[in-house]
Structure 1
Amino acid sequence: MRSLKIYYLNRRRLRMDDFYRAFLAPGDLAFDIGSHVGDRVGSFRRIGARVLAVEPQPALVRTLRWLYGRDPRVRIEAAAVGRASGRGQLRLNRANPTVSTLSSGFIAAARDAPGWEAQHWDGAIEVDCTRLDDLIERHGMPRFIKIDVEGYEAEVIGGLTRPVDALSFEFTTIQKDVGRCALAECSRLGYSQFNAVLGESYVFVHDVWLDASAIGRWLDVLPHTANSGDIYARRVD
């Protein structure tokens, strides 16, 4: 309920929709990796896109099915995404499920970090894991992929061998190394232009798109107080 209030009872919907229209048009397919309670699913659907929502937490999968399960243009998979298919251990933060994670490094980085003192991972479950390549095989090639998986972003992109038009991945200032690894994976796939959004602003930080080296330097000097955001990567044919 706390997550639903945070992500749905606000006035940012129009700003979110306008922002994502730069990446999606009616009829396009989008992947939402780490859907949580599905606010991005809602935005993509308002644009008119088809959506694959992927989320490993059972309570959140039930929420997604309650919200979107009757929509024929939304598919929901109860799984985590990573570099390999199989099984994985998902560490749960029951008080703040937004930051549940497969990454032990993320939990270690959060320990004693300023602003993260109240976060506690107090449970764990085994979950199915799949790859982006497997999802593409089952559901088709998306035009855009959103990735928000709490320190596991580079692993998710590592399971992709066929680049889509554009993708985004979350970064945090407590794990800038993960952001750099995700940038390296994007470069491997041929992405050449990058931009960033801080927090939930839906406004690009840079007036022009940067190359991987430049966005990496920007990330390196970003102050800890910035906390988190998303880096966007796109191909140029």
Structure 2
Amino acid sequence: MGGWLGFLRSLVIYHNPASLRAWRRFYRDLLAPGDLVFDVGAHMGTRARAMRRAGARVVALEPQAPFAGFLRRTLPRDITLIEAAAGRSDTEAEMAVSSRHPTVSSLRTEFVEGAGAAPGFGHVKWDRRQRVRMVTLDGLIAQHGRPRYVKIDVEGFEVEVLGGLSAPVQIVSAEYLPAFPEMTHAVIDRLAELGDYRFNPVAGETGGFLWPDWRSADAARDWLDGLAPSAGSGDLFARLEVLE
């Protein structure tokens, strides 16, 4: 029963007209018609639908039941759905699942072990496990082409996803959690290894950049470290300055 309650909670929070409209406007400004995008951690498909409405060609990844089943039944047929996670290698992995709060289900052991003491996570329990298939971004690129944008929302596993990418893409976004700044620092460090990126955050589901300009990795780190641990999550966007 908890699994379906969690699913319905996510449906109310994320799959709603206001969220869809905000992200549709946002992605119309960020993407051009025909751009290829990867949605890693598609969840309810809000972003995938918004990107598709903005004219993008979308490849969406979601390993977690029942969300993958919901997407299989409801996504537009021109969105490619892959029922898998992304990581450093093609393998299988065990996901820790929270039945009542499935948005925080994670493949990252340290995240699950440390979250109980973090603000906003005290009520969350990871009460079951799910074996999931894992693919790499490099493998997806070999199959579908190089995307202009990769969106990553995988509850602490973001740097592992980027570990499966060997060359930069133009735009990347990764969820940030103020209670776990070290995870986003690791994402910034990995992106710096891949290329010369500039950064701009989006808070929550607002669908709008916080800054009027794109700023350095150091500026992004300083901003992140200045957030209260209890502050809300969001997405840190990274834009490549020069695509080799």
Q: TM-score, normalised by structure 1?
A: 0.95
The answer to whether residue 192 in structure 2 is matched with residue 187 in structure 1 is: yes
8 Å Cα contact 1:195/1:232 also seen in 2: yes
Paired with 1:174 and 1:223, the residues of 2 have a C-alpha distance of 8
The one-character-per-residue Cα deviations of 1:102-132 (angstroms, maximum 9, x if unpaired) are: 0111112211222211111000021111111
8 Å Cα contact 2:20/2:47 also seen in 1: no
Paired with 2:18 and 2:80, the residues of 1 have a C-alpha distance of 26
The one-character-per-residue Cα deviations of 1:41-91 (angstroms, maximum 9, x if unpaired) are: 1101111111101011131111001111x51x2111111111222111111
SS at match of 2:80: strand
The answer to whether residue 46 in structure 2 is matched with residue 55 in structure 1 is: no
What is the letter of the counterpart of residue 202 of structure 2?
A: V
SS at match of 2:32: coil
8 Å Cα contact 1:89/1:127 also seen in 2: yes
SS at match of 2:33: coil
Paired with 2:237 and 2:74, the residues of 1 have a C-alpha distance of 27
Counterpart of 2:48 (choices 18, 41, 52) is: 41
8 Å Cα contact 1:91/1:125 also seen in 2: yes
The one-character-per-residue Cα deviations of 1:105-161 (angstroms, maximum 9, x if unpaired) are: 111221122221111100002111111101111111111110000000111111111
SS at match of 2:112: helix
What is the letter of the counterpart of residue 52 of structure 2?
A: R
Specify the alignment match of 2:92 in structure 1.
87
The answer to whether residue 37 in structure 2 is matched with residue 30 in structure 1 is: yes
SS at match of 1:129: strand
Number of aligned positions between the proteins: 235
Provide structure 1 residue ranges, at least 5 long, that are not aligned to the other structure.
none
Specify the alignment match of 1:133 in structure 2.
138
Provide structure 2 residue ranges, at least 5 long, that are not aligned to the other structure.
1-7
Paired with 1:195 and 1:83, the residues of 2 have a C-alpha distance of 25
Change (3 A) 1:146 1:165: same
8 Å Cα contact 1:191/1:233 also seen in 2: no
The answer to whether residue 230 in structure 2 is matched with residue 225 in structure 1 is: yes
Structure 1 runs (4+) deviating above 3 angstroms are none
SS at match of 2:230: helix
Counterpart of 1:205 (choices 204, 210, 228) is: 210
Specify the alignment match of 2:5 in structure 1.
none
Paired with 1:6 and 1:15, the residues of 2 have a C-alpha distance of 14
8 Å Cα contact 1:174/1:227 also seen in 2: no
- Give aligned-pair identity as a percent: 40
Alignment of structure 1 residues 139-178 onto 2, 5 Å: 139-178=144-183
8 Å Cα contact 1:23/1:166 also seen in 2: no
SS at match of 2:94: strand
8 Å Cα contact 2:149/2:169 also seen in 1: yes
SS at match of 1:196: strand
